[in-house]
Amino acid sequence: MLGLVAHETDSSKDFESVQLPPSKEELLGLVAQGDQKAFAALYDEISPRVFGLVRRLLVDHSQSEEVTQEVFLEIWQNATRYEPTKGGALTWVLTMAHRRAVDRIRASQASRNRDLKIGVRDFVADYDNVADTVEVTIESERVKEAMSQLTELQRQAVTLAYYGGYSHSEVSEMLKVPIGTVKTRLRDGMIRLRDELGVAS
């Protein structure tokens, strides 16, 4: 009986010692300290999402792979710049990925841009005319200027929902805000973009 009790007690201790896997924010913090294992774990966890976002924008598979690797190199080199108080780790990384993808688009040949426009048109077929205008003319300075007129919160929501193709619930989870707040930011942001771009409602 005593042996059984001791065994159960030891099992309880073992159970209590089990730890949950580190969050993305914790992994990024370890990467900032030069932890290669944490970097590998972070890569395994978020690389599909990063590649998915980049692929939606670039269309071309090879270029998407290249940009994804560039993003993770930037993460390794600049993880110390991440500030948890300003948003989640995934949002920080996806914003970085979006910026690099747009830079690659602007550097591509005209034919690649035409292919992108066709791909984006097909992808956002279910969105309204304002979203279509924003996506199709992503490389234009006019859109860049219009986006700069949004608040940071509106810009995050629009970027994830329309550039990234995420659902309202996914954006809510990524930004850690209620879904109602996401919808309000998107509505206000798209109205502002419509006005800035001169798109008829």
Domain ranges of the chain: 22-123, 127-201
The pLDDT tens digits of the residues spanning 176-188 come to 888 888 788 878 8
**98 and 128 Cβ atoms separated by less than 8 Å:** no
More confident residue, 135 or 1: 135
Closest CA to 152 of 183, 125, 175, 180: 175
Residue 118 binned pLDDT confidence (cut-offs 50, 70, 90): low
Dist. CA 95–CA 100, nearest whole Å? 9
pLDDT at res. 106? 77
The pLDDT tens digits of the residues spanning 32-75 come to 999 999 999 999 999 999 999 999 888 888 889 999 999 999 99
pLDDT at res. 85? 85
pLDDT at res. 9? 46
Closest CA to 42 of 21, 28, 55: 28
DSSP state, 124? T
pLDDT at res. 155? 77
pLDDT at res. 131? 52
Closest CA to 27 of 48, 8, 41, 12: 41
The CATH number of 127-201 is: 1.10.10.10
Phi, psi of 18 (to 5 degrees): -65, 130
**175 and 160 Cβ atoms separated by less than 8 Å:** yes
The answer regarding whether domain 22-123 maps to CATH 1.10.1740.10 reads yes
- Secondary structure (3-state) at 180: helix
Q: 7-21, 74-88, 94-108: which range is least confident on average?
A: 7-21
More confident residue, 142 or 167: 167
More confident residue, 5 or 26: 26
The pLDDT tens digits of the residues spanning 125-151 come to 444 445 545 554 444 566 677 777 778
pTM (2 decimals)? 0.48
